Structure 1
């Protein structure tokens, strides 16, 4: 069984037992969260798609860790104008373990 969930403005296809990294969620490590924004639930050839959400569907997840992704370097330059700008960014994430999917 799998589900398509929405969190942090992105959509993720998840199955029971998977680990995913999503945008940072304000929760403690080890805490169990229920994500109720489920867009679709599938099992084999059967697929239930919501309009926009599947009513009564939920995915329980456990927070494993918080962290930061690798650094992304931004470099802007205008040639012959003595303009250079360097900037870096590290996006924060939350690692989740997918538990039960209820439809």
Structure 2
């Protein structure tokens, strides 16, 4: 059984036991339980994609870790003007372990 969940502007295909990296959830601490409510699809005995049915379904996850991603180097340059700029960015992530997926009730 798997589900497709939207978290932080990204879509993740998750199954029970998977560990995913989502954008940082600042209110959650390590060991807390989080519910992901924006479910786009559930595939169990039958594929469920009806938005009315999916509105009541949730995916439970446990917070495993908070960490930073890889550094991205950004360089801006304009020719003949002497303009150069270098920046860096490290995205904050939360590692989530999926513990349960609700199934559609018939």
TM-score (norm. length: structure 2): 0.88
Cα RMSD (Å) of the superposition?
Answer: 1.5
In structure 2, the residue matched to 1:62 is 62
Contact 1:63 1:94 (C-alpha < 8 Å) held by counterparts: yes
Unaligned stretches of 5+ in structure 1? none
Show the 5 A alignment for 1:1-103. 1-26=1-26, 27-43=28-44, 46-51=46-51, 54-103=54-103
**Runs of 4+ that moved beyond 2 A:** 50-53
The number of equivalent residue pairs is: 102
Structure 2: unaligned runs, 5 residues or longer:
none
Q: Does the CA-based 8 Å contact 2:5-2:14 persist in structure 1?
A: yes
* Secondary structure, aligned partner of 1:6: strand
CA contact (8 A) 2:38 2:55 kept: no
TM-score (norm 1): 0.91
